[in-house]
A and B are shown apart, each in its own frame.
Chain A
Amino acid sequence: MNLKELYQDIILEHGKSPRNFGKCTGHNHEAKGHNPLCGDQVHVYLKLNADKNVEQLSFEGSGCAISMASTSIMTELVKGKSLTVAKNLVDAFLNMVKSGNEMVTKDLTEEQKLKIMSLSGVKQYPMRVKCATLSWHTLVSAIDGKKDDVNTEIIDS
């Protein structure tokens, strides 16, 4: 596989300049996640409003280009969605990077789908799948208000 399929321009760009970085104002949910094998860490903040919509979504943390880009794109795509849609997107994403299937969802525009599918190349690199999935698991943890930090070694095994 060509490295450029993994490190597409959109991934490098989001990796270098992640969107929604920092604590969002008024957040009422948050969760931490880490990958103990490599030391990657992410802290997801989200504001759920009275209508159960993700009004704000942001993150802090450090990691490789894949994990930063995955988190950055996640915040862009999930922000503004209802809780149900947010969870469906997480499922569709995890299914995509683990199985290699297309991102199956009716909740994104074609352009958004293309953006998220830039991460599908990661399935060719089994050691890197966890880099892409860490923040998505952490988002679920924040939504569900789980107390324990997300640990990729437990959740992905």
Chain B
Amino acid sequence: MDIDNIKSQFPIFSKKINGNPLVYLDSSNSSQKPKSVINRLEYFYKNEFSNIGRSIHSLSVNATNKFEETRMSVKKFINANSKDEIIFTKNATESINLIASTFGQQYINKGDEIILTELEHHSNYVPWHYLRESKGAIIKFAPINDDGDIKIDELEKLINSKTKIISITHLSNVTGTIVPVKEIIDIAHRKNIPVLVDGCQSAPHLKIDVQDLDCDFYAISGHKVYGPTGIGVLYGKKKWLEKLPPYIGGGGMISEVKKDKISYAPLPAKFEAGTMATAEVVAFEASIKFMQSVGIENLIKHEKELTEYALDKLKAINSVKLIGNPKNKAGVISFTIKGIHPHDIATILDEDGVAIRAGHHCCQILHEKLNLNASARASFGVYNNKEDVDILCKAINNCRKVFDLK
């Protein structure tokens, strides 16, 4: 795979950060954008903009078609059964909130149980916590082991007649754990429990096949898949989405409005109220095309090689402690350095143009479990190469110099 060519498609890499070339190792937070996506946004606003689905005029018809083309592309990208199962949202956070709210309204009562895991991002905990507050639901956390793998037998033991839904991440944004979601879904389905998969981190790194996984819901953020901000996807099995009540009310999601009653539009419009992030949805198709042009198998192979290279290099630095050692790990590497707080690491690395994340990465439950207040995290995108890893390691050694550590 020609990484130089791929990197050259991302205009941001021509910028200097503090006088140094940008080494962007924060793709788990948000990925950078290829030219094709930026151009698509601009082209749409310059030549094709109109609101969708409301007007008869040509511009609106064309914009609607483009919007729906992205829906078809997403359907293929995750291998959904029907385009009606693809709902556009603001981001994965909103996708999860949508299900927690509507599923909760319909199916969760006092004392009912929701199973999460200790790996979850706050966006796959807080929306369920609302049900604890509003409905008296009980939230249980499936534990992880020291390596950062979910103890699946323990998760299975948490399931009982009160369990109403299981919501799990596909890929941890801290330990890089690739969760065997298919196995968990099998276990859940044997007991007729639906499963939501938070695919925020996995969508840019793994091949997603929602029919093979047989998940009931799948949440994606566009901005992590080389797409624009403000666009997310909720996949839901048709049988569920048809049964769930609408989420946000307004224009576009109704069928008929009378003074005494309102009926709702069929899927997918039922869950898409108001003017959507139209240009962003249209441009998201360019992100999917970009992923396809790289080839998901190539991308997986490249990131696997890069991750192994980085792990070897980081392990060779004595003061670096890696967080988690999962069976299957993606290009997300969290670490601490003895004697230097992660915030100080991030500030010092930034001086060398190296962008990492420091803090709890919206995973306080996980950090508490690992007895950490904070960690530093380097995460890869398709544009990263071994040179980036070498610069990271050099910058880490510089941290130790600044702190006068041996």
Residue-wise, chain B 343-373 has the 8 Å CB interface mask toward A (1 for contact) of 1100110010000001110001001000001
Closest to B345 in A: A64
B343 contacts A128, CB within 8 Å?
yes
Given A39-B367, A65-B403; A3-B341 close (CB under 8 Å): no
Given A39-B374, A62-B373; A12-B360 close (CB under 8 Å): no
Chain B residues lying within 8 Å of A40, measured Cβ to Cβ, are 343, 373-374
Q: B126 at the A/B interface (Cβ < 8 Å)?
A: no
Tell me how far the C-beta of B345 lies from the nearest C-beta in chain A, rounded to whole angstroms: 9
Tell me how far the C-beta of B388 lies from the nearest C-beta in chain A, rounded to whole angstroms: 21
Q: B2 at the A/B interface (Cβ < 8 Å)?
A: no
Closest to A63 in B: B341
A7 contacts B339, CB within 8 Å?
no
Q: B320 at the A/B interface (Cβ < 8 Å)?
A: no
A65 contacts B340, CB within 8 Å?
yes
B364 contacts A4, CB within 8 Å?
no
- Could you say which interface size class chain A belongs to? 20 to 34
CA distance A105 to B359 in the complex (A): 35
Taking a contact as CB atoms closer than 8 A, the residue among A41, A125, A131 that contacts B373 in the complex is A41
Chain B residues lying within 8 Å of A37, measured Cβ to Cβ, are 359
A38 contacts B358, CB within 8 Å?
yes
Residue-wise, chain A 113-137 has the 8 Å CB interface mask toward B (1 for contact) of 0000000000001011001000000
A3 contacts B343, CB within 8 Å?
no
CA distance A64 to B344 in the complex (A): 6
CA distance A126 to B340 in the complex (A): 20
A7 contacts B403, CB within 8 Å?
yes
A39 contacts B347, CB within 8 Å?
no
CA distance A70 to B374 in the complex (A): 19
Residue-wise, chain A 38-77 has the 8 Å CB interface mask toward B (1 for contact) of 1111000000000000000000001111100000000000
Chain A residues lying within 8 Å of B404, measured Cβ to Cβ, are 12
Chain B residues lying within 8 Å of A128, measured Cβ to Cβ, are 343, 347
Closest to B404 in A: A12
Q: B402 at the A/B interface (Cβ < 8 Å)?
A: yes
Residue-wise, chain A 7-46 has the 8 Å CB interface mask toward B (1 for contact) of 1000010001000000000000000000001111100000
Chain A residues lying within 8 Å of B367, measured Cβ to Cβ, are 39
B364 contacts A3, CB within 8 Å?
no
Closest to B339 in A: A16
Q: A6 at the A/B interface (Cβ < 8 Å)?
A: yes
Chain B residues lying within 8 Å of A65, measured Cβ to Cβ, are 340-341, 344, 403
Chain A residues lying within 8 Å of B359, measured Cβ to Cβ, are 37-39
Given A16-B339, A38-B343, A65-B341; A3-B374 close (CB under 8 Å): no
Tell me how far the C-beta of B347 lies from the nearest C-beta in chain A, rounded to whole angstroms: 6
Chain B residues lying within 8 Å of A12, measured Cβ to Cβ, are 403-404
CA distance A133 to B227 in the complex (A): 37
A40-B343, A65-B403 known; 10 new pairs, CB 8 Å cut-off, are: A3-B351, A4-B402, A7-B348, A16-B339, A39-B360, A39-B374, A40-B373, A41-B373, A63-B343, A65-B341
B interface, CB within 8 angstroms of A: 339-344, 347-348, 351, 358-360, 364, 367, 373-374, 402-404
Q: List 29 A-B contacts (CB under 8 A).
A: A3-B347, A3-B351, A4-B402, A6-B347, A7-B344, A7-B348, A37-B359, A38-B343, A38-B359, A38-B360, A39-B360, A39-B364, A39-B367, A39-B373, A39-B374, A40-B343, A40-B373, A41-B373, A63-B341, A64-B342, A64-B343, A65-B341, A65-B344, A65-B403, A66-B343, A66-B344, A125-B347, A128-B343, A131-B343
